[in-house]
Structure 1
């Protein structure tokens, strides 16, 4: 079994970012460094950089999330970016969507322990909950899948004029370029690459914004494709 490590001291910027929820952010970081490692949710090498690379990197996404909206964090994993976003933005209603049981168990424990009443944990894949969860204003994700595949999962979950806000790395521009044809089929009307976290994280966090319009055509196309995929027989290995 992998041994847990100790969460490093928080940088001063963390107090400003998390504000009144700074103690909860510390507790969440401690959980990631402890049971998050022993349960295999994060690698032990990530513990020394939990604040800069994970907690703050995700928290600054709040800079581009509109006020008072509903959010679905697809493939939430250990709660990144959903939990840091929830700690910085109590005005949001956030659903953490994760298919793996051990991860959803961890997420439920975190939500209960931190008292995050505006956060709900749902076990499942995006294509499985389509039509079961109400459409949301914003879909978030981090390190889940390539952009074209991720949009195929996330766009059908959006309301008209909704948007995906996806934390990506240095190849965001190139990934967006290769995904344009797929995004167009999904009814995406605009895309952009944003950089957030000025004065908080270095390098800045890169966010790919994917916006849909009023027309539900692309959403219907993706929904039909997801439904067909659910019905298709799975090959045994």
Structure 2
């Protein structure tokens, strides 16, 4: 896809992967619309922000309506990045934590995508990128809820791509391993460190996927740090 002047909606943009992604897309001339609870600290004429809680359909619908009012109906790219996770023993996971993870990580993808697919179908093109996790491909102790949501992201992404490919719409799921972000602030067993991948690394993968030829479709991309524990001594 030629990216200049394309409109991209990115969720969860205040920091981490989302923030790195909007900076990367802006360099390519993309008109970036951020949806999130907190605004990114960036000043750019092509960057716009609408306060959005992706776990709440009314909030998503409001931001969608504002987006098409300000930028037109032709949203070319959707990057479902917003997500959260909690660490706890299975039986100690609270109902609030469980519901919060599913409402943000799973329902949010559905809410955002279902609004944009109809116009993408009319345009016979579009690209939806869902940020999954290696947690969606393997179980992690004390992360059952988060793993469950990311397993769901995988299944949703695979069904979406098979359903939408005939309409010229690409759906890609990216599965990062550990990335140095604020995600680990509330994960007591892991401390973010420089041996992890960096948010800009994931943003570079997103850019690569978006720039592929029209008939070239990445379905799943798993990325991990090469030396998660650093160099051997």
TM-score exceeds 0.5: no
TM-score between both structures, scaled by the size of structure 2:
0.42
Instruction: Flag the structure with higher strand content.
Output: 1
Point out which structure has higher relative CO (alpha carbons under 8 A, 6+ apart): 2
